[in-house]
């Protein structure tokens, strides 16, 4: 036993960092195992540089899906943060709690105590919202949540076009009403990325009760059915870090199921295929994989007011220098400053399409800009019925797992995506945006029929990088559940999960906020505390949703 702690957490990402902070705050001794290194440096800390870290091997695990049949056999990148702060250090910094109905659905699926009234107080506890007093929002938490300045006129033009198309304006989609168009929120504070590392890990380290060990977690070590530590590889040596109380996996929805399976917890036949002794036969481990798939609808701009003017060596150098000297300017924003949440059809009771607006036409990885001045909106369905899996490719912990999303494998996905494209075109035809549109770059005016749209989706749809659900939470007697409503892995003792793996179903929007919330709530379960008191605020929605789409 190389080292020991009361609680050992695998993964210094969104859930693990929040969990570590709350345990340390309660006076507990905590050790976090993280394979990645420091998050210092401008590529991570400068919000405007967001396209870089997720494409740098030093910060990213480098995962990719298996060839996806529904997308013409393409392998899609699946970035996961390998660095302090985890994916919160490499993501787009967009802050979306999810819709209230998402969490009520979790509870209906067996995650008792995780309805919206239960999780709202945890969202409020974690937030330091800079939008003014609101009974819906937190004002003193460690996670700063801000809005961009929307100085570029295209942001407000996009919001106005949504209103002209007949949709509501939402002043706070994380508050009483998600549906509508309005300002987008981000984990950015004083011009810096406010990752889980900045919000949670650094304050926790200052107490002296948190240690971070840089190592590759290989498997959970058990005595009988009780987790007693984690086997790691560090500096070429294999060691065991002992846990006096419990082990918690917060290693991502890709690495958490991999570690469970390497530890003997998972589908028995699959484990035996790899020569792994079965400790707990849990069919749900690695199943239920979900993601948001999206397309970038791009438009050429009539006026040279987009960020393309900085899309050159001198422009990027100027933006970077301004940020380094003063922490201000374009580098201080992720440039996702306007958004929308709409319903795709009558009879759908809460939004199932999300928009991120960006005042430049560019790939997410920053590798190509389209045709000079332009802008784009990222859009896709929020609740795909397709489900995939994470499976072991080898019993060697150094080998990446096999990831199969099965994107577009459900026929409803195609109908929903077609609606996304057609509804988006209608929004950009409104006067507020039409004044800025020269022409549609992609899909392009020639793409009109169902078959043409489907071919475009097959070739161009990309992951929004929101994988989740691979160790889903449910009732202890649910054969498909992996953890119970307190985060405990079913079938063993002393082991929990506290990351997006536990989501029964993907939430409406980006996943960083609900992943952090999971860490916050599991901390109270670990400490044996009564959950925070339920808050029965009633969210607003469309009163006529049964009969109208907007």
Tokens of 341: 């949440």
Pairing of strands 353-358, 338-342: antiparallel
Q: Specify the DSSP element, H or E, that contains 25.
A: helix 14-25
Listed in sequence order, the residues at least 6 apart from 41 whose beta carbon sits closer than 8 Å to its beta carbon are none
Instruction: Return the number of other C-beta atoms located less than 10 Å from residue 354's C-beta.
Output: 26
Q: Specify the DSSP element, H or E, that contains 34.
A: strand 30-34
Is residue 69 within 8 A of residue 410, CB to CB? The reply is no
Q: Specify the DSSP element, H or E, that contains 340.
A: strand 338-342
How far CA 492 is from CA of 214, 222, 227, 495, in Å, comes to: 26, 9, 8, 7
Tokens 């302090």 belong to: 84
Question: Comparing C-alpha atoms, which of 207, 229, 204 is closest to residue 218?
Answer: 229
- C-alpha span between 182 and 357 (Å, rounded): 11
Q: 443: cis peptide before it, omega within 30°?
A: yes
CA max distance for the chain: 68
- C-alpha span between 158 and 436 (Å, rounded): 10
For the four alpha carbons of 117, 123, 124 and 129, in that order, the dihedral sign comes to negative
Question: Comparing C-alpha atoms, which of 336, 379, 373, 382 is closest to residue 358?
Answer: 336
Angle subtended at Cα 463 by Cα 436 and Cα 550, rounded to the nearest 5 degrees: 55
Phi, psi dihedrals of residue 183, rounded to the nearest 5°: -70, 145
Q: Specify the DSSP element, H or E, that contains 227.
A: strand 226-234
Active-site position among 105, 356, 436, 466: 466
For the four alpha carbons of 269, 271, 277 and 279, in that order, the dihedral sign comes to negative
Phi, psi dihedrals of residue 18, rounded to the nearest 5°: -65, -40
- For the question of residue 466 being annotated catalytic, the response is yes
Is residue 251 within 8 A of residue 471, CB to CB? The reply is no
- C-alpha span between 79 and 365 (Å, rounded): 11
- C-alpha span between 523 and 175 (Å, rounded): 24
Q: Which long-range contacts (CB under 8 A, 24 or more apart) does 171-176 make?
A: 172/131, 172/134, 172/136, 172/137, 173/96, 173/339, 173/341, 174/95, 174/96, 174/97, 174/123, 174/136, 174/137, 174/145, 174/513, 175/134, 175/136, 175/137, 176/136, 176/537, 176/539, 176/540
Catalytic residues: 466
């Amino acid at each position: 036993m190389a080292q020991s702690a009361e609680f050992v957490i695998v993964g210094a990402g969104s859930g693990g960092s929040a969990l570590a902070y709350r345990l340390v705050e309660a006076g507990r001794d905590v050790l976090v195992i993280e394979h990645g290194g420091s998050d210092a440096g401008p590529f991570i800390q400068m919000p405007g540089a967001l396209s870089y870290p997720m494409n740098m091997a030093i910060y990213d695990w480098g995962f990719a899906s298996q060839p996806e049949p529904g997308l013409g056999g393409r392998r899609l990148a699946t970035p996961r943060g390998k660095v302090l702060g985890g994916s919160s250090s490499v993501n787009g910094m967009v802050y979306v709690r999810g819709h209230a109905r998402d969490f009520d659905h979790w509870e209906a699926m067996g995650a008792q105590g995780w309805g919206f009234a239960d999780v709202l107080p945890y969202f409020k506890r974690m937030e330091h919202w800079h939008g003014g007093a609101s009974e819906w929002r937190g004002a003193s938490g460690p996670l700063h949540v801000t809005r961009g300045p929307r100085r570029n006129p295209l942001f407000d033009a996009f919001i106005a076009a949504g209103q002209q198309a007949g949709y509501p304006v939402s002043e706070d989609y994380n508050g009483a009403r998600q549906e509508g168009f309005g300002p987008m929120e981000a984990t950015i504070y004083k011009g810096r990325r406010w990752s889980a590392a900045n919000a949670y890990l650094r304050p926790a380290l200052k107490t002296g009760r948190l240690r971070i060990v840089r190592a590759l977690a290989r498997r959970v070590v058990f005595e009988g059915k009780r987790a007693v530590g984690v086997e790691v590889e560090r500096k070429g040596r294999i060691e065991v870090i002992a846990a006096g109380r419990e082990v918690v996996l917060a290693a991502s929805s890709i690495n958490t199921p991999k570690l469970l399976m390497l530890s003997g917890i998972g589908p028995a036949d699959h484990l035996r295929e790899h020569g792994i002794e079965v400790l707990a036969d849990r069919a749900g481990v690695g199943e239920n994989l979900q993601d948001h798939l999206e397309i970038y609808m791009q438009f050429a701009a009539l006026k040279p007011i987009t960020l393309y003017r900085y899309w050159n060596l001198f422009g990027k150098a100027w933006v970077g220098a301004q940020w380094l000297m003063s922490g201000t300017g374009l580098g201080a924003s992720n440039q996702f400053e306007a958004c929308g949440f709409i319903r795709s059809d009558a009879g759908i009771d809460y939004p199932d399409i999300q928009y991120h607006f960006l005042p430049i036409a560019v790939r997410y990885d920053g590798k190509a800009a389209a045709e000079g001045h332009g802008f784009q909106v990222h859009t896709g369905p929020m609740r795909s019925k397709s489900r995939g899996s994470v499976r072991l490719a080898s019993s060697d912990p150094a080998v990446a797992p096999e990831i199969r999303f099965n994107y577009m494998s459900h026929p409803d996905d195609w109908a929903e995506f077609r609606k996304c494209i057609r509804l988006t075109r209608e929004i950009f035809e409104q006067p507020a945006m039409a004044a800025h549109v020269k022409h549609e770059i992609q899909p392009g005016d020639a793409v009109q029929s169902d078959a043409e749209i489907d071919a475009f989706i097959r070739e161009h749809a990309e992951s929004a990088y929101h994988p989740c659900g691979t160790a889903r939470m449910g009732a202890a007697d649910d054969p498909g559940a992996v953890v119970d409503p307190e985060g405990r892995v079913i079938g063993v003792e002393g082991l929990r999960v506290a990351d997006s793996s536990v989501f029964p179903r993907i939430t409406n929007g980006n996943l960083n906020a609900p992943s952090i919330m999971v860490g916050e709530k599991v901390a109270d379960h670990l400490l044996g505390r009564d959950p925070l008191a339920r808050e029965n605020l009633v969210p607003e929605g469309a009163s006529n949703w049964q009969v109208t789409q907007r």
